[in-house]
Structure 1
Amino acid sequence: MTGLATALRVEAVAWRRSTVVRLATPLLVLLVPAACVGLVALARSGALVGTGGAKLAGFGGADAAADQLTAAGQVLSVAVLLAGGFALAAAFGVPLADGRAGGWFALAVPRDVVALARAVVVLAWAAGCAVVATAVVVACAAVTSALDPGAGWDAADAAAAGRAVVAGVLAAGLAVPFAAVATWTRSPLATVGALIGTVAVTQVVVMLGGGAWFPWAVPSLWTGTGGEAAAASVPGAALALTAAVVPAALGALVVQWRRLTDV
């Protein structure tokens, strides 16, 4: 436990100083909220017609604040997965590809503990970004409600905010398996390819009707991307299964690094 605590502190400091954090964090906590507010404003303006207007029709309801928070959940379920996947591709794939991970074998802390700490730090960063992004959207929604005399913060807004947070955190967890992919392939590009492939497969699974039980589709469907009926079809057990991806992926990662004999 002492070794893990030390590794977590070291990895947290290193991750905070990384280029990935400096680039991705503003995108998640500022660009995503801006996109959510913009989507709702665009939907309510009626400027889009045809296919684009039909896709945004769900964000043109009477409660703009709730729509903004619903959009946050839908956007975060994809954005956090992609950001987390890219981050883990860099965190594991790059040092394995250029040989720097060989230094882990000489550390006093076992290499599997270092790998676990690195994955946990990236997971915490991605989940934290999801929470902060939701908080920014909540602030925007509060302003929207204040500017609308007939609106106010209600149970629908609170429920939408809660769903956005849960969806973002679940999406962060769904990125963790790509640390194991990066370890297996020893390539950041291959890991990114696997991430993109997973997103594509998710779309196919949803089209075939199996999205309610496919972890990588659950957060998006649960927040209403496929409509209210699709959101209602996602059972609590599917959410639990999605959350279980994290411990399973971390366990697989630890086993990988424990058995790793060369880099």
Structure 2
Amino acid sequence: MTAVANLGAAFSVEALKLRRSVVARVATLLLVLLVPLGSVGVVALARSPRAVGATAAKLADYATGDLATTHLLACAQILSVAALVAGGFFLAWSFGRELESGTAGALFGLAVPRGTIALAKCLVALAWIAVCVVVAVAVTVTASAVVTAGSGASFVGAWAGARTALVAGLLGGGLALPFAWLATVTRSQLGTVGGLVGMVALTQIVVLLGGGSWFPYAAPSLWTGMGGAAAAAAVGLPHLLLAAAVAPVALAAVVQTWRRLTDV
């Protein structure tokens, strides 16, 4: 078999595993349903009479401005984190399950090289996250259009917000790839999830210390305005490119690590 045929065969197998994965099904529902509901819901809460005291202060950014634009702003902020978490959980399952249980040895008996299998796993995960992000943004736009129907609100700003949400979600999904490498070296689903939680906590600390713009796991969220207007203005193209570079580096590391796996 040629390299392309090997990759195609591995991709088909991994795509089948994805379709049958309970983890992927739950994560898909969370991304394509809860993200839009949360985006519209948080804006509705911010503009309702119930938003008083501490709640009003926390939701102040969503209380004013064009309604549709604010919906997509909230979507971008939520997706920047949700895509990372969903992707991290799925990759922990995809890589960690087989290595943890020892069933990966059967895969290595196939004609398809180990590195190709790892590459297919990563590509399937990235494709799945990308589709979920696109659908989540589309559902948010649709929900926003329904909510704002008859109000005369303009969707000009909303389209720019949709682009921001797409970029933030895709960056978040790419940032999940290092956890495929972590699952490979730890051979543990739980250990990988622990690493994901630790990274989220570390990101909060880095942001508090003022280094968030150059920290790949913080830059996309800050860019969407999660840390305020001043923090968003501090994030530029170099910071986003640094965050985007994590995915190909992690992909190369995962493939190389799988090529060297011997004792499974």
CA distance in 2 between counterparts of 1:188 and 1:83 reads 14
The answer to whether 1:9 aligns with 2:12 is yes
Deviation of 1:158 after TM superposition, in Å, equals 1.2
CA distance in 2 between counterparts of 1:58 and 1:183 reads 41
Alignment of 1:22-41 (within 5 A): 22-41=25-44
Aligned to 1:106, the other structure's residue is in SS state coil
CA distance in 2 between counterparts of 1:86 and 1:217 reads 19
**Corresponding residue for 1:251?**
252
Alignment of 1:219-230 (within 5 A): 219-230=220-231
**Corresponding residue for 1:70?**
73
Count how many residue pairs are aligned between Structure 1 and Structure 2: 261
**Corresponding residue for 2:143?**
140
AA partner of residue 91 (structure 1): S
Q: 1:112 aligns with which of 107, 115, 119?
A: 115
**Corresponding residue for 1:84?**
87
Deviation of 1:50 after TM superposition, in Å, equals 2.5
Deviation of 1:61 after TM superposition, in Å, equals 1.4
Deviation of 1:115 after TM superposition, in Å, equals 1.0
Q: 1:45 aligns with which of 3, 26, 48?
A: 48
Deviation of 1:78 after TM superposition, in Å, equals 0.8
**Corresponding residue for 2:242?**
241
Cα deviations by residue, 1:152-187 (Å, 9 ceiling, x for unpaired): 211x21111100010000000000100000000000
The answer to whether 1:202 aligns with 2:203 is yes
CA distance in 1 between counterparts of 2:134 and 2:127 reads 10
AA partner of residue 241 (structure 2): A
CA distance in 2 between counterparts of 1:65 and 1:35 reads 14
**Corresponding residue for 2:61?**
58
Q: Give the TM-score, by structure 2 length.
A: 0.96
Q: Is the 8 A contact 1:145 1:153 kept in 2?
A: no
Deviation of 1:122 after TM superposition, in Å, equals 1.0
The answer to whether 1:179 aligns with 2:183 is no
Structure 1 ranges of 4+ moved more than 4 A: none
Deviation of 1:47 after TM superposition, in Å, equals 1.3
AA partner of residue 123 (structure 1): L
- Identity across matched positions, percent: 57
CA distance in 1 between counterparts of 2:193 and 2:53 reads 33
Deviation of 1:64 after TM superposition, in Å, equals 1.0
CA-based RMSD of the aligned residues comes to: 1.0
CA distance in 2 between counterparts of 1:20 and 1:109 reads 25
CA distance in 2 between counterparts of 1:28 and 1:38 reads 15
Cα deviations by residue, 1:35-61 (Å, 9 ceiling, x for unpaired): 111100000114122222111110111
**Corresponding residue for 1:96?**
99
Aligned to 1:180, the other structure's residue is in SS state helix
Where structure 2 has 5 or more consecutive residues not aligned to the other structure, the ranges are: none
Aligned to 1:205, the other structure's residue is in SS state helix
AA partner of residue 175 (structure 1): A
Q: 1:126 aligns with which of 122, 129, 132?
A: 129
Aligned to 1:230, the other structure's residue is in SS state helix
Where structure 1 has 5 or more consecutive residues not aligned to the other structure, the ranges are: none
CA distance in 2 between counterparts of 1:199 and 1:231 reads 19
Deviation of 1:192 after TM superposition, in Å, equals 0.3
